[in-house]
Amino acid sequence: MQFLSRFVGRNILVSPLDWGLGHAARMVPVVRFLSKKNRVIVVCGPNAREFLDAELPNIEIITVNDSAIRYPAHRITFFTMLSWLPVLAVNAIREHFFVKRIIQKQGIDTIISDNRYGLIFRRLECYFVTHQVYPKLPNGFGALEKLLGALHRLYLQRFTKCLIPDFENGFSLSGSLAADRVGDNPIFVKVGILSRFCNYPQNNDKIYDLLILISGQENQRTIFERFLLDKIKDSQHKILFVRGVPENIPPLKDFNNVVFKNMLTSDALAAAITSSKLVICRSGYSTILDLVALKAHAIFYPTPGQTEQEYLADRLGWMSGNDLRRF
């Protein structure tokens, strides 16, 4: 995070998108780093609030009420994505005026937005964090993907800088989503691996054969959970199954050698990952950053139709559902 070391003595507002916990999770190391030499305020949606309260107990956090996007039970299609656009537009307008009041009241001089498109203000330094400079569309929409990618890149250049969470040199995780296509444009800056687990100690003692991490939006989270429960129902391997739901949701009952947890703290999650021979999870970018930081081995199951996850799973290597038979 060498780029962020230039921020000293500032009043900084950090705001991650409230779309799953991935965006909030990768802002945790950013806030921790910046808060050493700056005053930092976090603005987040209600779903991320509980998580960030636990991760950042000494940071002021303000809740903005986003309209929620719910994933369909079927595969996500291009038309599903189109149906999300009005919600995203309304959220962008709402977050802009909500944060504008905070800027005036709190004397904010710097904004760091993780995929919140409405947080751009004149006379302020506004930074946008994303791993998708060129979003992926489903097969058959190649020409439209190029057009939308070009328009998206033009919009991102309205920000002071676009920060890409990826290796600063060498191999890129984001590939053609971002790092491999921005060239030498100074607006786009690779800032390294943003993970709360960077520099976490490795563990050579493997307690679990398999760690299952469920995450993402409903309804797909529940569908993925049921799919994996069916796959492991007769397994004799030692499995830790983390459901990714709040603690107030009734837990599942342990069976055979399978242990269920609704949620884990960051320390407990890092310990679970490093204590497991293999991880099964979605191929969300923030999850990939965490696995890279912890040097973990994983099987990726992209959310059906979520083109970004499908691209990353294919690029970084994944196996099909049949590979679960041995568990």
**Do the strands 210-213 and 279-281 form a parallel or antiparallel pair, or are they unpaired?**
parallel
Closest CA to 4 of 25, 44, 32, 43: 32
Closest CA to 321 of 261, 280, 278: 280
DSSP character at residue 233: T
DSSP character at residue 175: G
DSSP character at residue 75: -
304 with 321: CB under 8 angstroms? Answer: no
Taking each helix axis from N to C end, the angle separating 46-55 and 22-34, rounded to the nearest 10 degrees, works out to 40
β-bridge partners, 107: none
pLDDT of residue 74: 66
Closest CA to 160 of 127, 201, 119, 199: 127
pLDDT of residue 69: 65
What is the residue-wise DSSP string for 78-138? HHHHHHHHHHHHHHHHHHHHHHHHHHHHHT--EEEEES-TT---TTSEEEEE-S-SS----
AA identity, residue 126: C
237 with 327: CB under 8 angstroms? Answer: yes
DSSP character at residue 169: S
Domains of the chain, earliest start first: 2-190 (3.40.50.2000), 210-322 (3.40.50.2000)
Q: How many angstroms separate the CA atoms of 163 and 186, rounded?
A: 10
pLDDT of residue 320: 43
Q: Which two tokens stand for residue 267?
A: 């320390």
pLDDT of residue 319: 45
164 with 236: CB under 8 angstroms? Answer: no
Q: How many angstroms separate the CA atoms of 1 and 255, rounded?
A: 43
**Could you give the 3-state DSSP secondary structure of residue 209?**
coil
β-bridge partners, 13: 41, 111
AA identity, residue 281: C
**Tens of pLDDT, residue by residue, the chain (327 residues):** 789 999 999 999 999 998 878 899 999 999 999 999 999 999 999 888 988 999 999 999 999 987 666 666 666 666 677 766 777 788 888 899 999 999 999 999 999 999 999 999 999 999 999 999 999 988 888 888 899 999 999 999 999 999 999 999 989 999 999 999 998 899 999 999 999 999 888 777 899 999 999 987 788 889 999 999 999 988 989 999 999 888 889 999 999 899 999 989 889 999 999 999 999 999 999 999 999 999 999 999 998 888 999 999 988 875 444 444 444
pLDDT of residue 322: 43
Q: How many angstroms separate the CA atoms of 223 and 219, rounded?
A: 6
34 with 4: CB under 8 angstroms? Answer: yes
